[in-house]
Every structure is written in structure tokens, then in C-alpha cells.
């Protein structure tokens, strides 16, 4: 039987800002259909690591492989074109526009009107948006409402639906449940499980270890820019993870 290959593989990624080392020779692998929790205290290097994967930062050294092919992303759009979708805490949504426009933002379908005018095909956008939201079991009563009138959970759902519609091969979620009510937190975590069932791997960053244990298959712990542990979620607990994060258990830095 052929051994499954990782969809994403990063090898010895290193990044510094002046005299500050933000990520120090970190290697991780992410396989299709799994959720990987990325945890660590503030300044541990979590966001810098995913920003190198998603094309926001250029790495100083190390390699990134996508489905076995080494990749170099100069911009986040290049990473998105290869199927790496990143949802940050601020969501990067246009608050004055509705859900359908946000799902298609920058990729609007066009149709001809009067035989020669190209106009945005809003009917197609609405139908396709409804379809992908239904597939993800997301209920938004009025897709025509501006995003600013939607709840935090609904905005998260739209951002996730946008990524799924455009065939995300890897989803990176940075603090997706921060500032959400408990019911909305559960919905976002349910969407993580839905993505896993669809074969889309997820990297989730969160300070809420309860959220991490609710969805993650594996947990990668960073401390002071280095990876100190990689754990199977069902074989560990919050006490061990916190000990690794704080250094009371040294992990691989011993």
C-alpha cells in the first residue's frame, strides 16, 4: 500500500526580523483530511510561520512543499491561486458589501447585457453562494445584507464558504473563534470538521485549548520560535500542552 504523502510539508523554516528570531528551523507536515492545531504563547512564532506558508512573509531559509512540489510564494494571491486559503481574525471581508459579493470578491462572473455590455452576473453569484453555504450547512437568512449587519459567526462562515467555493486545498485559520459567542464558536468548529470530512486539511491557531482539542487530530507546540513537540491530540491533555508551551516541560528543546 502506498504511503500517504503530506499535502503540505515545511522543512527548517527560519525567519528573523533584525535581531529577533521569529521562527527557528521549524518543520511540520499536514496530511489530507486532518486538522492540525498550532499552539504556543504570544511571540512563539505561530503567526509568522503561517504567514510564510501563505505568502505574506518571505522565508530567510528553509523549504515549503505543496503536494511534493517545492513552492515559492511572493504574494498571498500566489498562495491562494495554489489553493492555500488563510482566514485571519479580521477576516478581510468588505463590511459594506453583502455575502455573495464577498464570496466572489475579485473573481466576479460577468455576463453580456444588450449584446455588448459586460456586467457582473449577480444572479449567478447569489445561486452559487446559496449552493456552497447549503453544502456547508450554513444558514444565513438574508444574503443581501451588508456584512457589517451579520454576526461574528456568520462572517466567519462567509469567509470559510469563500475559501471552499474556490477549491481550497489547505485552510489556515488564525484565532477563528476569538470574540465569538459560545454557540457561534461551536458552529465554526463544526465547519472545521466539515472541511476535514471533505478532505481539506486545516491548520488552526488558537489560544483556546478547548477549541483545539475539540477538532485537532495533531497538536504542534511552538515555544520561543521553535517547535518543541508534536502530539496526537487523543494521546495528550491540556496539562501537558500548557507545560510544553510554558517550558515547565522542556520537550524537544531539552
Q: Who contacts 140 (Cβ-Cβ below 8 Å, separation ≥6)?
A: 99, 133, 150, 154, 157, 158
For residues 209 and 189, is the Cβ–Cβ distance under 8 A? no
Any domain includes 3? no
**Mean pLDDT on 85-110:** 87
Whole-angstrom Cα distance, residue 169 to residue 60? 25
Any domain includes 106? yes
Domain count, the chain: 1
Q: What is the pLDDT of residues 116-147, one digit of tens each?
A: 788 989 999 999 999 999 888 888 888 999 99
Pick from 1-5, 21-25, 144-148, 205-209: least confident? 1-5
pLDDT band at 253 (very low <50, low <70, confident <90, very high): low
Whole-angstrom Cα distance, residue 39 to residue 59? 20
Could you give the maximum distance between any two Cα atoms of the chain, in Å?
Answer: 71
Any domain includes 177? yes
Any domain includes 135? yes
pLDDT band at 238 (very low <50, low <70, confident <90, very high): very high
Round the average pLDDT of the chain to a whole number and report it.
Answer: 91
Output the pLDDT for position 35: 97
Is the per-residue pLDDT at 20 higher than 50? yes
Is the per-residue pLDDT at 235 higher than 50? yes
Strand partners, 10: 28, 64
Query: Which one, of 162, 37, 137, lies nearest residue 87 by Cα?
Result: 162
Q: Which structural domain range is residue 112 located in? A: 8-253
Domain with 172 in it: what CATH number? 3.40.50.300
Output the pLDDT for position 115: 72
Cβ neighbourhood burial of 32 (10 Å; 0-12, 13-18, 19+): middle
Any domain includes 2? no
Burial 16-30 (b: 16+ CB within 10 A, else e): eeeeebbbbebebbb
Any domain includes 245? yes
Is the per-residue pLDDT at 163 higher than 90? no
pLDDT band at 245 (very low <50, low <70, confident <90, very high): very high
- Grid cell listed for 184: 457561534
- Grid cell listed for 182: 459560545
Q: Which residue has the cell 504563547?
A: 41
pLDDT band at 111 (very low <50, low <70, confident <90, very high): confident
**Mean pLDDT on 220-243:** 96
Any domain includes 166? yes
Output the pLDDT for position 114: 75
Fill in the DSSP letter of residue 26: E
Whole-angstrom Cα distance, residue 57 to residue 64? 13
Q: What is the pLDDT of residues 181-226, one digit of tens each?
A: 888 888 889 889 999 998 999 999 999 999 999 999 999 999 999 9
Any domain includes 76? yes
The helix (run of H) or strand (run of E) holding residue 172 is strand 170-174
Output the pLDDT for position 149: 92
Amino acid at each position: 500500500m502506498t504511503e500517504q504523502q503530506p499535502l503540505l510539508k515545511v522543512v527548517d523554516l527560519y525567519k528573523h526580523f533584525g535581531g529577533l528570531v521569529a521562527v527557528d528551523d521549524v518543520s511540520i507536515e499536514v496530511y489530507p483530511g486532518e486538522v492540525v492545531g498550532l499552539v504556543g504563547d504570544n511571540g512563539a512564532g505561530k503567526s509568522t510561520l503561517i504567514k510564510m506558508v501563505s505568502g505574506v512573509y518571505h522565508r530567510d531559509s528553509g523549504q515549503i512543499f505543496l503536494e511534493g512540489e517545492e513552492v515559492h510564494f511572493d504574494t498571498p494571491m500566489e498562495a491562494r491561486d495554489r489553493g492555500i486559503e488563510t482566514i485571519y481574525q479580521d477576516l478581510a471581508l468588505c463590511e459594506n458589501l453583502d455575502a455573495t459579493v464577498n464570496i466572489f470578491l475579485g473573481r466576479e462572473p460577468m455576463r453580456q447585457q444588450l449584446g455588448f455590455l459586460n456586467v457582473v452576473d449577480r444572479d449567478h453569484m447569489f445561486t452559487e453562494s446559496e449552493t456552497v453555504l447549503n453544502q456547508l450547512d450554513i444558514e444565513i437568512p438574508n444574503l443581501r445584507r451588508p456584512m457589517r449587519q451579520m454576526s461574528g459567526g456568520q462572517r466567519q462562515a462567509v469567509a470559510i464558504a469563500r475559501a471552499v467555493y474556490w477549491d481550497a486545498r489547505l485552510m489556515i485559520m488564525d484565532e477563528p473563534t476569538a470574540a465569538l459567542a459560545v454557540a457561534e464558536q461551536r458552529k465554526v468548529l463544526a465547519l472545521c470538521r466539515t472541511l476535514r470530512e471533505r478532505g481539506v486539511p486545516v491548520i488552526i491557531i488558537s489560544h483556546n485549548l478547548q477549541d483545539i482539542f475539540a477538532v485537532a487530530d495533531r497538536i504542534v507546540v511552538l515555544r520561543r520560535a521553535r517547535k518543541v513537540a508534536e502530539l496526537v491530540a487523543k494521546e495528550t491533555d491540556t496539562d501537558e500542552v500548557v507545560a510544553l508551551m510554558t517550558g515547565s516541560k522542556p520537550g524537544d528543546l531539552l
